[in-house]
Each structure stands twice: as structure tokens, then as C-alpha cells.
Amino acid sequence: MQKRIEKLRGKMAEQSIEAIYVTNLKNVYYLTGFWGSAGVALITANRQVLITDDRYITYAQSVVKDFEVISNRDDLGTAAGLVKDMGIKEVAFEDEISVAYFKSMEAVFAGIALRPTTNLIADLRMIKDAAEIATIQRACQISDQAFIDALDFIKPGKTEIEVANFLDFRMREMGAEGVSFDTIAASGYRSAMPHGRASNKVIEAGEALTLDFGCLYDHYVSDMTRTIYVGSVSDEEREIYETVLAANKALIATAKAGMEYKEFDGVPRRVIEQAGFGPYFTHGIGHGMGLDVHEYPYFSRTATDTIQAGMVLTDEPGIYLEGKYGVRIEDDLLITETGCKVLTLAPKELIVI
């Protein structure tokens, strides 16, 4: 944790930020180790303070190291008092706060300049340290195993919701705190909807079934997708499946530190375009993940930023033929200097059950 604080201080020094008031709860966790519904951090060049309230104080004192921990329901007033005592003239804050909260800040910090910052901590969070990688890896193992177990559970006649509930429950049984987002189970024509949440639709023989799910393990997420076939698979479905798999694998074969964002998206997209399905790959290739299931970086077809070692990124090409069926295959990749390590290891050769 202290290394993260030192990195943040480095960025603060570069931007001449004297103090930052951190309100995003996941950023508070990232910096302090405190996880709760009420907690803010105030960080200066030589002080680091966590302000929470009586409900959390015992817990906070037991998990938070190297921070002054203050219990006070009035977090803004407490922070403003500290800032004034330290003689600080300007406080940086995270620009994602609500307008209402900003107005409160203006009132309480009267006389002190407020400076919005964008993604200061999100940028740090893009590069995972060894502990974060180990935790994400465990989250991925849990979802891999839940998928393998679901293959024995899925049968014609089950509903999408029954399959989703099975996955969710298995992940909890294996130690997950919960799911990282509402499990997607989309069968038949619904598999052509990239984000078809599980419904009461009954899964029929001869249908595709796309499962996009993940778990929350020790605050970190996994996020994976597999498409399988129930009973049988048509030639066209097989063709789009093999195309999506080739796109997914092409990115795994080429992703490494230094690759431009537009290439991270472009390598798999070209595989799909060359097979003639370009117009049916309707979303971006993936996103960063960690404490949030969607976090920086995000990819576009024009961005020339480069991916870096320590990023955990999803590789999720898809093809969707509206009204018929769709395929998506999603893995979580750890980027390294020389390539990438696939963290989701559930089978992805075409499966017919």
C-alpha cells in the first residue's frame, strides 16, 4: 500500500498538488486497505489520513496501516480543518463527484482553492502489483471452475436464469464474495444480444448459449465469456465460432507491452473483418479490470497510447447475427514485457453438450 501512496505522491509533485481529497471508495481501498461505505482519504506530501465514522472505526484501525485514522461523521469538515491547520491553500479532488457534493465542498472549504483531477488514481490502478495479480488470478480460477461445473448442469429445458444461478452459487461456494456483474446467460436468438441478461427463456436443443460472468474475490474481479452449443451446432454457427476463437487467439499471440491501443483492438478485429463478419463485431475488444469490472484503459480504433506490463485486460471479440445467434469468447490477459499470460483457462474449443 505504501508504494501506491509514494507513486501517488510522485504524480502529485509533478502536478504541484499539495493535498488530495480522495472520495472514490475503491480508490480509498486501493490506497488505504479500508473497505466500507463511508471513508475518505486526505493525502499530502507528509501526511496520510483516513476519515471514517464510528461504525467502521474498529475495523479501520485493524486493517489500515501507516494512516492516521480519524472517526468523525463530518468527513468534509474534518478534512477542511486538517487542511487549514496545515496551511494548505489548494486541495485537489476527484472530478467524478456529484454536483451536490462539490457544492458542499465549496462551502466547507471556503477560502481554500479546489482543483479537480481526472483519473489520477485510475491511472495508477491500471498497473497491477503482484498481490493484485494473484488475487485476480484466483478470481479467474473460480470462474473457470464454475464454468466447467456448469457444463454438467446445462441441459435443454433449463432456463437461462437457472444456469446463471448455478454459476453464481458455485462461485460463492468456492470463496467468491459475489458476482462482479449480473451474469449474462443468453440462448438461441438472445445470444445475438451482446449483453442479454439471463431471462426466463428455456434453453432448447440446437441453440447456442453465451455465458458472460465473473466473480468478486477479495475485492477484485474476473470477467469471462464462453459460448457453447446445446445438442447440436450448425455449419454457420461453427464458422462464426471458429472466427471469433481465431480473433481471440490472434490477440493472445501478439499482445505485449508497447502495443498501441488501436492495435490491441485492430489485431482481432482484422481477423473478423477478413472472414467477412466485420459489421457484426459491434463493440470494442475489451477493457481494463481490477477493483472494477470496467476500468482504465479503454480501447478505441484510433488511440496511440500503449499497453503496459502489469495491465490486466479483457480480450472479448464477438460476432452477432441479429435474430439468429451470436458468439463471444472472453479471456482476461495479464500483459508482460514479452507477451501476455492468459488468466482465464476454461476450455474454449467448440463445445457441444
Interacting residue ranges for Mn ion, rule: CB under 5 A: 223, 314
Residue 133 parent element (H or E): helix 130-153
Residue 130 CB: number of other CB atoms within 10 A? 8
Query: In whole angstroms, how close is the CB of 315 to Mn ion at the nearest point?
Result: 9
DSSP state of 203: P
Query: In whole angstroms, how close is the CB of 316 to Mn ion at the nearest point?
Result: 5
Give how far the C-alpha of residue 65 lies from the chain's centroid of Cα atoms, to the nearest Å. Answer: 26
Q: Are 97 and 25 in contact (CB under 8 A)?
A: no
Residue 199 CB: number of other CB atoms within 10 A? 14
Query: In whole angstroms, how close is the CB of 22 to Mn ion at the nearest point?
Result: 26
Q: Which is nearer to Mn ion, 102 or 296 (CB)?
A: 296
Q: Are 241 and 194 in contact (CB under 8 A)?
A: no
Q: Which is nearer to Mn ion, 52 or 227 (CB)?
A: 227
Q: Which is nearer to Mn ion, 223 or 295 (CB)?
A: 223
Query: In whole angstroms, how close is the CB of 175 to Mn ion at the nearest point?
Result: 21
Query: In whole angstroms, how close is the CB of 250 to Mn ion at the nearest point?
Result: 18
| Integer Cα distance of 189 and 205 in angstroms | 13
Sign for the pseudo-dihedral over CA of 257, 293, 247, 226: positive
Q: Which is nearer to Mn ion, 51 or 211 (CB)?
A: 211
Q: Which is nearer to Mn ion, 93 or 181 (CB)?
A: 181
Q: Which is nearer to Mn ion, 34 or 213 (CB)?
A: 213
Burial group, residue 331, by CB count within 10 angstroms (0-12, 13-18, 19+)? buried
Amino acid residing at 236: E
Amino acid residing at 258: G
Q: Which is nearer to Mn ion, 135 or 180 (CB)?
A: 180
Amino acid residing at 56: Y
**C-alpha cell of 309?**
506490463
Query: In whole angstroms, how close is the CB of 222 to Mn ion at the nearest point?
Result: 10
| Integer Cα distance of 276 and 67 in angstroms | 56
Query: In whole angstroms, how close is the CB of 223 to Mn ion at the nearest point?
Result: 4
